[in-house]
Structure 1
Amino acid sequence: MGYCRFGGVLAVICAAAFIAGGGAQPLVPAIITFGDSSVDVGNNNYVHTIFKADYPPYGRDFASHQPTGRFCNGKLATDITADTLGFSTYPVAYLSPQATGKNLLIGANFASAASGYDDKTAMLSHAIPLSQQLEYYKEYQGKLASVAGSKKAASIIKDAVYIVGFGSSDFLQNYYINPYLNKVYTPDQYGSYLVSIFNSFIKDLYGLGARKIGVTSLPPLGCLPAARTLFGFHQSGCVGYINTNAQQFNKKVNSAAAGLKKQYPDLKLVVFDIFQPLYDLIKSPSSSGFVEAARGCCGTGTVETTVLLCNPKSPGTCSNATQYVFWDSVHPSEAANQVLADALITQGIDLIG
């Protein structure tokens, strides 16, 4: 697949993935994903919500050059990570017709754009809430056992890598625009509420057999083009208080993760720092070969990635997304996702063993 193009530790991982089975054996048996639009590979195509990416120009730089439901011009950071680990195909969106039979052996993706730790976040957008993603996962376990047999299924569940990517929608699409929340709770209090849900969710996954879990931190939410438009009041640069709140939330998640690892000594739990690598890209795009970090390639405005903003007729959609840190008003381009994926795989070495 041409994924061994790194130096240092990444080259070692790639070589190991390639040698493990004549180039065909991934380093982990499966990848199982929960989360929001940062990791949704098409579940929202099958949900009655305005948050969809099943139309051009989404997917224009993907292998098929077709929209897949990914909120990107091409691959997500988790797709690139799967490449690096030696997967030749990607775990399917659980609600898609492809989520049957042997396709389930390499995992499944339960993520839904506009979902969050807080089920009420998803309900505002008619996305799949975290609680329902977990129910789908339980259903998946039964299907996996019927395909692989209970013994092999248990082995896959135990050795799979789990990706959990929530939180951005809780703040940007719920807390900051919902007076019922932001007039009653401080960002710190709401963050603590979300982290309590995170804590319970990881315990639930552990109880269901998960032992290798990677959780993404919040990105620099105040730097997203949508946040600049909505909350920046035309000031230049990122919205400082939103970034500060994101960093405070990330500290809480790291603290909770440390507590969980003490409670469950056989649990490998890594919090992936998305904030710093993306912030560095935004602050100094040219040092990584990017030109534009303040606007999305496709559509800029106040509403996240609905057909109102990034669509086939969007004026001024850029011709070369590799020069843009952001593909749309919220989501990184494939080129930026490559930078994030390199950081993810380096931070997540513990999950591979």
Structure 2
Amino acid sequence: MDINFKRTLLLVLSVALLKFGNGQDSTQLVPAILTFGDSAVDVGNNNYLPTIFKANYPPYGRDFVNHQPTGRFCNGKLATDITAETLGFKTYPPAYLSPQASGKNLLIGANFASAASGYDENAAIINHAIPLSQQLEYFKEYQTKLAKVAGSKKAASIIKDAIYILSAGSGDFLQNYYVNPLINKAYTPDEYGTFLVGAFSNFVKNLYGLGARKLGVTSLPPLGCVPLAITLLGNHENGCVSRINTDAQGFNKKINSAAANLQKKYPGLTIVIFDIYTPFYDLVKSPSTHGFLEARRGCCGTGTVETTSVLCNPKSPGTCSNATQYVFWDSVHPSEAANQVLADALIVQGIALIG
């Protein structure tokens, strides 16, 4: 990010802090962050599930606090971790299924996300992940616990003023639609996208009913540039798989349109669709501009197909020594260094959610 732009952003955040900082931890711009979705934002819920989609072993987490794996699908921090720090949080909202999600830790929010979940409930169930409908049930449970800790009046204030984050859709396409003939023979990518956006709209309606008012939703990244897609679906073409990127862009148009309609329909609702596609595509196409050397394969192992414990693990041969040079950590997920670039874009786009 341009240094002058960063200074301007910090000034905006400082003004927001002065304006909205009363009545909560004086360093936080919002009282809490509540996160739903998939592996891009899962901070360890899958550690407690009978699924192969886990990241609670090395080399995951090797550049995180204490160099310990937590269940984050990254060598270090997720974009949402970095965003929380920018918003003044000293610690991260805990994974809801973890022992840390209790007592006063609940005051800053919770994370309900689950790797291999998404808008398609059936895919989440097959993967033994937490479907979005169940994530909402956990959120209801969280509200009851929060009221016991904070009192009902303060709990209601936290729920109303919190920022809600939703990340889903990438796995629906990469780990479900493109590899499942039962689905890709029955639906065109456009039809499947319409189905997923319907699920998104239903989720937002239910989340709004539970008190959420400020929602940030990630668009799809350029899925055709993900190493896994290039390896399995690229047909040896150079660079990104263009048809998959076209599908992602089509989906993004649909979700932007749906969000605009939802915002008109529900009073007091603010939805920001974070454009992940543009900054991520820029990273992959011009890695050296951002200080990266490698954008076609991940750091872990061969970096071409590793997404689960089966393939990215302590014995994976060829894992790079310096992940800051890589846009991708494994064959799907960004490195912490790439997440920093994405988080810079998120915080600028999400100013409307603060306050």
TM-score range relative to shorter protein? over 0.9
Q: What is aligned with 1:10?
A: 9
Task: Say whether residues 1:76 and 2:75 are aligned partners.
Answer: no
Number of equivalenced pairs:
350
2:276 is aligned to 274
- 1:337 aligned residue (336, 339, 351): 339
Which residue number corresponds to residue 137 of structure 1?
139
Partner of 2:244: 242
Contact kept? 1:214, 1:351, Cα under 8 Å: yes
Match of 2:211, SS?
coil
Map Cα deviations across residues 157-203 of structure 1 (whole Å, 9 max, x no partner): 00000000000111111111111111011010010001011001101
Question: What residue is the counterpart of 1:208 in the other structure?
Answer: 210
Report the Cα offset of residue 79 of structure 1: 0.3
* Separation of aligned partners in 2, 1:334 and 1:99: 24
Cα contact 2:117–2:171 (8 A) shared by 1:
yes
Structure 2's unaligned 5+ residue stretches are none
Q: What one-letter code is carried by the residue in structure 2 that aligns with 1:342?
A: D
Residue 261 of structure 1 aligns to which amino acid in structure 2?
Q
Q: d(CA) in 2 for partners of 1:5 and 1:305? A: 37
CA gap of 1:42–1:318, structure 2 versus 1, over 3 A, is: same
* Counterpart Cα distance in 1 of 2:179 and 2:307: 16
Question: Within 5 Å, which residues of 2 pair with 1:1-353?
Answer: 7-16=6-15, 20=21, 24-300=26-302, 303-353=305-355
TM-score by length of 2: 0.95
Identity of aligned residues (%): 74
Identify unmatched segments of 5+ residues in structure 1: none
CA-based RMSD of the aligned residues comes to 1.8
* Contact 2:59/2:69, CA 8 A, preserved across alignment: yes
Structure 1 pair 18–6 and aligned structure 2 pair: CA distance change class (3 A)? farther
Structure 2 CA distance for aligned equivalents of residues 17 and 321 of structure 1: 34
Contact 1:28/1:159 (CA < 8 Å) preserved in 2?
yes
Residue 242 of structure 2 aligns to which amino acid in structure 1? G
CA shift, 1:17, in A, is: 7.1
TM-score of the two chains, using structure 1 as the length reference: 0.96
CA distance in 2, matches of 1:276, 1:44: 29
SS in 2 for 1:194: helix
Aligned residue type for 1:92: P
Task: Report the residue type matching 1:26 in the other structure.
Answer: Q
Equivalent residues of 1:17, 1:23 under 8 A apart: no
Look up the SS of the partner of 2:43 in the other structure: coil
Work out whether residues 304 and 330 of structure 2, in 8 Å CA contact, stay in contact via their aligned partners in 1. no
Larger deviation, residues 11-20 vs 238-247? 11-20
* 2:62–2:75 contact (8 Å) kept in structure 1: yes
CA contact (8 A) 2:46 2:71 kept: yes
- The structure-2 alpha-carbon separation of the partners of 1:299 and 1:229, relative to structure 1 and needing over 3 Å to count, comes to same
SS of equivalent to 1:163? strand
SS in 2 for 1:287: helix
Give yes or no for contact 2:302–2:318 (8 Å, CA) kept in 1. Answer: no
Q: Quick one: which amino acid aligns to residue 232 of structure 2?
A: L
Distance 1:264 1:45 in 2: 36
Instruction: Deviation per CA, 1:196-251: give whole Å up to 9, x if none.
Output: 11001101111110000000000111100011111012222111111000000000
Q: Is the 8 A contact 1:93 1:108 kept in 2?
A: yes
Aligned-residue offset at 1:309: 1.7
